[in-house]
Each structure stands twice: as structure tokens, then as C-alpha cells.
Chain A
């Protein structure tokens, strides 16, 4: 076996695990899942290209635990690099196998044969045979050897271009596309009844009046886990409402939430780790770096708790029959949630099957996994029927794990125009609350709530390269001395977990705002200051191309509004897609309202697979991050979040969206680089830098609300 085999293919070497050939079609089975990011289209393009079949001949099957490869989670911008390279090599091996077979049949050398739409032709003898004829109903039940040569990029007909997304037609016409569209015989509708927050437990609930409602099949009360199963959705919703009215909850003073989050983060650190070259180490934390002379700057940045805020609340369908659980879930990791649920319910792994189905975009660890567990619990209490559980809006807003608040203190010195040292202290709760099963603890809400509860997993500091809190904490710039410390607050009274780009959003916000502060303090141009600290030509290229376009944008100014331009740059995880973001915005002189006018993105994601898909991800990432930056913060009462709808947690709306242009610097000879989270980091800093350019106000606390700008303006 070639040592060059992509990792996912090494773990799942059987070709028929990845590729099934039936009815003139190729089914590509991937362990990654479609989250709305367009991965199924990109993988279909890779497979069609390498197999020389048309895109129409490819069907993509994503994330099933009973067939196809196990690829753990779809997260961290790794699907193109991971699944993409595995699918490409698997298809190349398959194609080589077919060519060799056909060459034997035709008694020619494989080099003379050509392939179109899966049909192999021998130009010398007018002979043809298709992949499907060669297989004659069998499948490729042998292991990939990685010996087949990949198609040269110069020969690509699909990869690197744009195509229509393969999942879009169904979504535009009302065909079956989402988990909510799966309809099963004898299915029952279910709702859960959660307490107002994590701090609450059930004091009393007399459910008899609900149990006797016509159409109610069962009220499940298992410790603090409460759910209702009904014959129809209307009844399930009505029953949930009544149960909420009837339930009495209790809480403890000790579970009161801290009113001052930045202070809470700073004063409750459990573990501090020195981060060197993007990886936490065991080294003792050195004192703050210092130097004599030069221009010394310090600044503190803050990001509040955010919601993932899926437009579709989480859902799942589970059926318990003959001692087996089948769960349809929009989890990012079907194999992972399968193991976590089996563990939490005391079942064997082979008693649980998880099949992925799409819901609205999740942008990280939202309610998907908990909904799967909830449905499994309900199904166990009511066997023999598929249980369709739909979380309601309030369930999602209150019970999805939040993106953690982060506090970042930076301290650096510029001497002779260059940064001499860089101190960073980053404070945050965990970004890694996913239900990855380990030991006897769990990260599933229903497992904490049930009558025989499992304990919560304790937050542990991520120690991998650019893991959670320290993702992009290490600036990409040439700086002689750096002291970067991640400080983990283990407390989970507010439950936190992964949200698109993890720590990179706040870290790059801080770094790239601070770069401008340093440039300004030392009297240097912000673009040139960055370029002076970068040796990587690809990094320089995205900054230069973005800045040129931003300067060239023709602006029509309005009276009463101050205009500004701001830029920022990051390379995601210092090792993936390069992205520079430029923003033009204006600020109303009276109201301090911030209006985004135009944005320019320049990105280098290595070899481009789906050009339009890449553009869509980069632009979408910018707009989502702009929403986080300008509008979003979870609000809390004494014990729990009070942001339980879109009014109390507003997001950016259509009239607030700027025009966006995206430049893609394609590098066909370089490996593809994950890009789904690349613009998240630079966006808040580009906005903050543009606000400073417009007004001279430096805002370091997200969200950038008009009232905050006003109070900063009054301070100055």
C-alpha cells in the first residue's frame, strides 16, 4: 500500500465503501455531511472529474453509520482536504482498475483507451465497454492502493470551474430536501419541555391533565427530561404549552450567572497554557515580554456569547424497534453521535444506526446532537413508532450551546517601525463541548437530565495545533518574540461549544485591530505595516489585491454620514485559506448608526474545486461575521439566557447587507485549503478599522452598537 494514501482512505481502504456502481450511476459515499456549505457538490465534481463521468451520473450519499466511510466530524474546514483527497484517490484507483480490465479485454495497452461518461472506448477496434458492464452487478470490493496517478490539473474539465449546486433544485421546488420532509408510516410528533435554563431542575409537574388530552400518546418525565408524544403536531405543540404552564422549576443561588462577563473570565481561570507556534505546551508561563524604548501599546478586546442561530430549529426522527434504534439526525458527526447516544442509553454500538439528513445550516455545534438524543430518549419510552421531534424556536435559542465569550489582552512594542515583541492573554470557556464519548461522562443535555443522570464532561484545554481558544491566536506576522497564553475557564454554567471558526473570530478581531493600532501609533500605513511583517508571498498577494480593489471602489457619499475604509487579514489556522477583507462603511453623525457599504474579499484557497461554491462560502462567512460583529450578543437574566427569539437576538437583515466582491487567487498547482471559515476572523477587525478611519473611535467590544460608539465618542 502506498504511504501516500489520504488519511481517510487509509482508515477506510475498501473502494466499495466510497463508490457504488449501479444503473449507469456512481454513488459516492462520504462520511462528511452537507450542512448547506456545498460539500456534496464539490465532492461530486471531484469524483466526476477523476472518474470521467458526467456530474449527472454522480449521486452523493452523506453520513450514514450503516454504510460508507467513517469520517468523524464535518468541522474545521477539513472536508475538501480530507474527504476530497480520499474521494479523488479512490476514484483514480477505480478508473485505473477499469482501464486495466478493459485493456485486457481489448488486448491493447490502457494508454490508448479513452473514457467518456464512464464508457471506455478503444479507438483502434471500435470497441466500447462501460464501468457498469465491467462490474456486471458486482462492486469494487478491494482496497485502494493509491498507485493510480491522479489526473493532471491541466486536464480538468469540471474542477476549478463553477457548477449548479446539486442540492439546490430540490430546495427551490419543495422536493424532499430536509429532515422535516422525511415522512414515515405511523410516525408520531414530539416536543420537549426544557426548563428555562441549565440552572433549573424540576420541582413538580402533575401531567395528568396533559396525558388525558385527546391525541396525546405519552408524556415522558424521566428525571428532569420532559417530552410529549402525540398523534399530530398540533396536539404536540398544545401539550408542550400546557406542560410549560404546569411545570414548577427550582434553582440555587449558587447557579446565579456572573453579571460582568469579562471580569468573570479573568478571575476564574482554571488552566493557563503557553502557546508556541500555534500549539499549547507544558512550558511554564514566562513573565510578560518587555523592551526599552519604542512605541508601546496595550489593548483589551471582548466578544460576547453568540448563538449559532440556525433558521431551522433542531429536529430528529428516532424509532426504537426490536431492540434497535434508528435515528435520522442533522448532526455534524453521525458516527460520533451514534457512539455518544449508545453510551448514554447503555446500548451496544451495533444497536444504534444514525443516518444524516439536512436541516438548516448549523455553523457548528448547535442543537442537532441534543435533539438526536432527545428523540432517542422518547423513542425508547415509546417503542414501535418513528418519533419526529421538532425543537421549537425557544428550545434552540436557549438550549443550543453558545459560542463562548472571549477576552483578549494584547501588548506589543514597535521599535524602528517593526514589532519587537507580542504579548497575548486570551481568556475563554471551552469551544469543544461536542458530545464526543469518553469515559462515563457526557455532553448531551438529556443524559444530564434523565433520572439516572450521567455527569457532565469537564472542559479540558484543547492541545492540538490551532485548537479552540488558541485558534489563530498566534499572529501570522514575523515577530521576534511572542508570548501567547490561553486561559481556560472551565465553568459551564453557561454552556459553550464550537461555533464556526472557534477562537479565530475573536483572536483575529483582536490581532488585526491591534495591527492597525500599532501602525497608527507608529505613524505607518496599515497595509504597508502588515506587508513589512509578512514573508509569505501568498499572504502578501491577497492583501495587495484586496487593498487595490478597495482603493479603486467608487464611492457616492451622503451628507451627514462619515465614511471609512478598513482592512484585515488572516490565514485560517495559520495553515489553511488566506483571506484579506476590506470594508467601506459609513456612520451617521447624529445617530451613530453603522451602515456597511461595500466589502472586498481576496482569498487564496490553493487549488479551487468549486469556484462559485468557494465564493459563496467566503461571502457568506463575511456576512455572518458582520452580523456577529454589528448586532449580536446573548442577553442574560439572573439564571439563564433571555434571548429566546429573533427580536431579543437580532441578526443582520437584507437592507443592512453591503455589496461584496470576491477575488479568488487560484493556485491549481497547490493543495486545496479549507476555506469555509476563512473570512470569519478578518471581518470584525476590518469593520473596527473602518470605524476608526471614519470617526477616530476605536471600538474593541463586540457588538458594535450605535450606543456604544456614542459613549466612546463622548469619552474622547
Chain B
């Protein structure tokens, strides 16, 4: 075991674990974060997405050793003081989801998209989400929620 440190949702954290542990296992088991999900383990579904140094990253294949010293943000860290982030607010308002298992990874993708493109259109949103799988068919609501959030932040 080795000591690793990283910034997690704004806080400096240190952990003693095998460096080959995936970031997904670490965040869920050591830090009890629920948002990111195990879906495929091979970067094919996007359910485990987090931000690592501001980049959208699949936590299922990223190891702890590779994450050492980085800045990791999960859905739990999107907003402060337990307030809802505008994205979460519009997903809630539009009932954008069914089973909800894919939503955390989608929120991360959308968050990053809105940082680089504050007013994306439908096709830009859909293109950004191409590697986030949703099986329930809630796609149109999810796209609408991201559009609504973008226009809210715009005003």
C-alpha cells in the first residue's frame, strides 16, 4: 500500500491504498460517494464520469496512481452549500431521467460542455453526449434540460 493524495471536490484528501485501484472503486468505497456508477468498466457507457483536472474522465479505468496529485470533481462537488447546480435544477424541473443510473455521468459531460460552449444547440448537446448511454429512452428530456440550463445561465 502507498499513500496518495488528491483534491476531491475542493478538499485535500489522502488515502492509503493499492495504486492500481480504480478511481471509481476509490471514490465509491473509500469516500462513500454515490453519484458515479459502475456500468461497463471499459469507458463505453459514461456512467462513471468525473472531472480530473477539468477533463471529463471515466473513473472506471483511471487508476489511483494516475490520479495522484490531481483535482477530481464529482457530481457531489458541482455546487456548494448543498444548493442544486442549475443543471441539476433543470433536470429535476423537466423530470429528465427514468431509472437515473446514467444521470451522474451525463451531468458531468453537460457541465464540461457548458464551460466550453455556453449556448449549445440540440445537435451540439447530442454530440457531446455520444459516449453516455441511456437505456430508458430519456434522451430528449436530458437534452432539453441541458438546453434549459444553458439558457438560464445565459440570462
- Chain A positions within 8 Å of B, measured between CB atoms, are 35-38, 162, 164-165, 167-169, 171-178, 180-181, 183, 232-234, 237, 309-313, 358-361, 363, 390, 392-393, 612-613, 616-617, 619-624, 627, 645-647, 651, 653-655, 657, 659-660
B98 touches A616 (CB 8 A): yes
Residue of A nearest to B32 (CB): A183
Q: What is the distance, in angstroms, from B53's C-beta to the closest C-beta of chain A? A: 21
State which residues 7-52 of B face A: CB under 8 Å: 17-18, 20-22, 25, 28-29, 32-35, 37-42, 44-45, 47
Q: In this assembly, does B93 line the interface, its C-beta being within 8 Å of a C-beta of chain A? A: yes
- Knowing A174-B75, A654-B139 are in contact, say whether A169-B38 is a contact too (CB < 8 A): no
State the CA gap A619–B136 with chains docked (Å).
9
Q: In this assembly, does B74 line the interface, its C-beta being within 8 Å of a C-beta of chain A? A: yes
Q: Top 4 nearest A-B pairs by Cβ distance?
A: A36-B99, A623-B137, A620-B137, A171-B100
State the CA gap A224–B28 with chains docked (Å).
31
A621 cross-chain contacts in B, Cβ below 8 A? 137
- Knowing A311-B133, A312-B37 are in contact, say whether A657-B126 is a contact too (CB < 8 A): yes
B21 touches A234 (CB 8 A): yes
B100 touches A172 (CB 8 A): yes
A311 touches B101 (CB 8 A): yes
Q: Which listed residue (B20, B74, B130) contacts A653, Cβ 8 A?
A: B130
**Selected interface stretch from B65-73, B84-92, B147-155:** B84-92
State the CA gap A374–B45 with chains docked (Å).
25
A37 cross-chain contacts in B, Cβ below 8 A? 98
B123 touches A311 (CB 8 A): no
State the CA gap A363–B134 with chains docked (Å).
13
Q: What is the distance, in angstroms, from A379's C-beta to the closest C-beta of chain B? A: 19
Q: In this assembly, does B129 line the interface, its C-beta being within 8 Å of a C-beta of chain A? A: yes
Q: What is the distance, in angstroms, from A204's C-beta to the closest C-beta of chain B? A: 27
Q: Which listed residue (A168, A174, A359, A646) contacts B97, Cβ 8 A?
A: A168
Q: What is the distance, in angstroms, from B74's C-beta to the closest C-beta of chain A? A: 7
A659 touches B140 (CB 8 A): yes
Q: Which listed residue (A312, A624, A646, A659) contacts B101, Cβ 8 A?
A: A312
- Chain B positions within 8 Å of A, measured between CB atoms, are 17-18, 20-22, 25, 28-29, 32-35, 37-42, 44-45, 47, 74-76, 84, 88, 91-93, 95, 97-104, 107, 123, 125-127, 129-143
Between B17, B33, B45, B132, the greatest number of chain A beta carbons within 10 A of the residue's beta carbon is seen for B45
- Write 9 A-B pairs (CB below 8 A) sorted by A numbering: A173-B75, A174-B74, A180-B37, A309-B135, A360-B101, A390-B38, A393-B39, A646-B133, A654-B126
Residue of B nearest to A232 (CB): B29
State the CA gap A613–B141 with chains docked (Å).
12
B18 touches A234 (CB 8 A): yes
* 4 extra A-B contacts, CB within 8 A, seeds A172-B92, A360-B99, A620-B137: A171-B103, A177-B100, A311-B47, A312-B37
B92 touches A176 (CB 8 A): no
State the CA gap A683–B149 with chains docked (Å).
31
Residue of B nearest to A362 (CB): B99
- Knowing A36-B100, A174-B34, A178-B34 are in contact, say whether A620-B40 is a contact too (CB < 8 A): no
B140 cross-chain contacts in A, Cβ below 8 A? 619, 623, 657, 659-660
B123 cross-chain contacts in A, Cβ below 8 A? 655
Residue of B nearest to A41 (CB): B95
A313 cross-chain contacts in B, Cβ below 8 A? 38-39
Q: Which listed residue (B95, B97, B127, B142) contacts A655, Cβ 8 A?
A: B127
- Knowing A168-B92, A313-B38 are in contact, say whether A619-B99 is a contact too (CB < 8 A): no
A624 touches B135 (CB 8 A): yes
B137 touches A622 (CB 8 A): yes
A35 touches B22 (CB 8 A): no
Residue of B nearest to A358 (CB): B99
A359 touches B101 (CB 8 A): yes
State the CA gap A655–B38 with chains docked (Å).
23
Q: Which listed residue (A178, A180, A237, A311) contacts B45, Cβ 8 A?
A: A311
Q: What is the distance, in angstroms, from A491's C-beta to the closest C-beta of chain B? A: 28
A623 cross-chain contacts in B, Cβ below 8 A? 137, 139-140
State the CA gap A613–B94 with chains docked (Å).
11
B141 touches A616 (CB 8 A): yes
Q: What is the distance, in angstroms, from B122's C-beta to the closest C-beta of chain A? A: 8
A361 cross-chain contacts in B, Cβ below 8 A? 98-99, 101, 135-136
State the CA gap A169–B34 with chains docked (Å).
13
Q: What is the distance, in angstroms, from B65's C-beta to the closest C-beta of chain A? A: 12
A310 cross-chain contacts in B, Cβ below 8 A? 101, 135
State the CA gap A278–B95 with chains docked (Å).
36
B25 cross-chain contacts in A, Cβ below 8 A? 232-234, 237
State the CA gap A169–B104 with chains docked (Å).
12
B42 cross-chain contacts in A, Cβ below 8 A? 393, 645-646
A360 cross-chain contacts in B, Cβ below 8 A? 37, 39, 99, 101-102, 135
Residue of A nearest to B30 (CB): A232
B47 cross-chain contacts in A, Cβ below 8 A? 311-312
Residue of A nearest to B60 (CB): A393
A180 cross-chain contacts in B, Cβ below 8 A? 28, 34, 37-38
Between B34, B35, B102, B142, the greatest number of chain A beta carbons within 10 A of the residue's beta carbon is seen for B34
Between B88, B100, B102, B107, the greatest number of chain A beta carbons within 10 A of the residue's beta carbon is seen for B100
Q: Which listed residue (B95, B102, B126) contacts A164, Cβ 8 A?
A: B95
State the CA gap A620–B100 with chains docked (Å).
13
Q: Which listed residue (A183, A358, A616) contacts B95, Cβ 8 A?
A: A616
State the CA gap A621–B138 with chains docked (Å).
9
B92 touches A657 (CB 8 A): no
A359 cross-chain contacts in B, Cβ below 8 A? 99, 101
Residue of A nearest to B97 (CB): A168
State the CA gap A479–B88 with chains docked (Å).
52
A309 cross-chain contacts in B, Cβ below 8 A? 135
- Knowing A361-B136, A653-B130 are in contact, say whether A620-B98 is a contact too (CB < 8 A): yes
Q: What is the distance, in angstroms, from B31's C-beta to the closest C-beta of chain A? A: 11
